[in-house]
Structure 1
Amino acid sequence: MSEYQVRPATLRDAKAVAEVHAIALKAAYAGILPDDQLSALAPASRESKWREAIEYAEPQVHVAMLDGEVVGFVGFDRSRDPKTPATAGEIWAIYIKPEHWGKGVGVALWDAAREGLDEEGCTTVTIWVPLRNDRAMRFMELAGFKREMKTAGTTAVGTARIEQIRLKRDVS
């Protein structure tokens, strides 16, 4: 059993979610994004986005807690990709403080998202992962996700272009 507890986020968690997002992004994208863009990843720029997501459950947000501290979060909902069936879900975001990487937080968050997507009637789930984010790619593949090779493309992060690919698996 994991020492991490996962629960739905509340509005009081928005600041902590934004902090986890910024810290984890900086660590995960080191060597992928230019240094000036990494340094611009500030929690303040993300707090209102996460406050709104939590308030309107779009996406649904769950947090992983350890000793009263938010150490990770997952955002999930129906797929935002065009032409996907109503039964397709998506992990919109999953981020964990780097000092908690490899300790079971990601699995606990994935389990919560999978349960939530199942309750929503989703039968499949996707996630977009940067090709150069080896840690995320490895985690998602270990969780049973498979690359959809025809989905490879680029997305803008600030002024940088990031190559990414969609991964997919059944919810159950």
Structure 2
Amino acid sequence: MSSIQVRPATLRDAKAIAQIHTVASQEVYKELVPSAQLKSLTLEERHAYWREAIEYCEPQVQVAVAGEKIVGFVGYDRSRDEQSRPTTGEIWAIYAAPSHWSQGVGLALWDAARDGLHEEGCTNVTAWVPLRNERALRFHELAGFKRDLASAKTALIGGVKIEEVRLKRPLNSQSSLAGAPRYPGK
């Protein structure tokens, strides 16, 4: 396994982030969303989204690098949930390239996001995960997140309705997947 470094994303990273987001989403959602719908989520749209996110730091974006190659990313910031406290952060997105799943990328990204949210004064963190995305649910639960079953909602992903649940955990707890099997990202 190569050493994973995490650093803040730059505008030059937006294309690699968009590629990982596209490929990983197609892999993760292939059982949940019709392929025609998945293909409608274009690389160009994601590139524009991540470029703007990096430029305006909303969300904050960090990338995982193995050697010289970007192999994952995380976007995090304050919670977007209207009812949340100002000290609640949210993992907006966390993805690893499928070629780097189970190699510690998700762990490195989660650790960086946890540290960044803690520095921002957050005391809790949430993430929204599709109920049928077992890999992502397992990853977050190994990181100490608990399902908030009362939060279940329907979201549109690629034009298809997907049931999501909010997961949450306190940031003061140091649970970080250490010693657990590697399940890197969604």
Q: Is residue 40–residue 158 contact of structure 2 (8 Å, CA) maintained in 1?
A: no
Tell whether 2:31 aligns with 1:24.
no
Q: Is residue 61–residue 75 contact of structure 1 (8 Å, CA) maintained in 2?
A: yes
Name the TM-score, length of structure 2 as normaliser. 0.90
CA displacement at 1:39 relative to structure 2: 2.2
* Residue equivalent to 2:176: none
Name the TM-score, length of structure 1 as normaliser. 0.97
SS at match of 2:63: strand
Aligned pairs (5 A) from 1:59-98: 59-98=59-98
Q: Is residue 2–residue 104 contact of structure 1 (8 Å, CA) maintained in 2?
A: no
Q: Is residue 2–residue 108 contact of structure 1 (8 Å, CA) maintained in 2?
A: no
Aligned pairs (5 A) from 1:34-73: 34-73=34-73
Q: Is residue 155–residue 164 contact of structure 1 (8 Å, CA) maintained in 2?
A: yes
With over 3 angstroms needed to count, the CA separation of the structure-2 counterparts of 1:18 and 1:115, relative to structure 1, is: same
CA displacement at 1:42 relative to structure 2: 2.6
CA displacement at 1:2 relative to structure 2: 6.7
Q: Specify every segment of 5 or more residues in structure 2 that has no aligned partner in the other structure, as ranges.
A: 173-186
Q: Is residue 148–residue 166 contact of structure 2 (8 Å, CA) maintained in 1?
A: yes
CA displacement at 1:63 relative to structure 2: 0.1
**Structure 1 ranges of 4+ moved more than 4 A:** none
Amino acid at match of 2:44: A
Q: Is residue 54–residue 61 contact of structure 2 (8 Å, CA) maintained in 1?
A: yes
* Residue equivalent to 1:115: 115
CA distance in 2, matches of 1:131, 1:168: 14
Q: Specify every segment of 5 or more residues in structure 1 that has no aligned partner in the other structure, as ranges.
A: none
| Aligned length, in residue pairs | 172
